Amino acid sequence: MAKLKTLPSRLGSLSPTRGHLPAPERKPEAERKVFSPWRAWYNTTRWRRLRWAQLVKDRFTCTRCGKLEGDTAKLVCDHVTPHRGSADLFWDECNLTTLCKPCHDSAKQREEQTQGMRGA
């Protein structure tokens, strides 16, 4: 019976790791998103219908600057009073308004952050 030859080790060329793997790269605080169950509400059929009804109600016009926008991707169905995870506020039709992306992403966000600082 013939013996198999022992193969040379291929691991000899690897550098030692001191018994642990390197720490994974961490994203900066601003890039990390905190998981909130209510974020999934935005992906529901119910929300899409509610958003569409609000855009139609406001005639695809920003209620802040008055800009008429034909591209609905550039419109935001915004919560007037931030819901902060409250289902009642999130689904309340009277708590919604239409904003264009520039109004929502600049002035409205600044106002909410300022209100949040005052409330803290």
Q: What is the pLDDT of residue 111?
A: 76
Return d(Cα 116, Cα 120) in angstroms, integer: 6
Residue 63 in contact with residue 96, Cβ under 8 Å?
no
Q: What is the pLDDT of residue 25?
A: 65
Residuewise pLDDT in 10s, the chain (120 residues): 667 677 666 656 555 555 555 666 665 555 555 678 889 999 999 999 999 999 999 999 999 999 999 999 999 999 999 898 999 999 999 999 999 999 998 877 777 777 665 554
Q: What is the pLDDT of residue 50?
A: 97
What size, in residues, is the chain?
A: 120
At 84, the amino acid letter reads R
Q: Does the global pTM surpass 0.95?
A: no
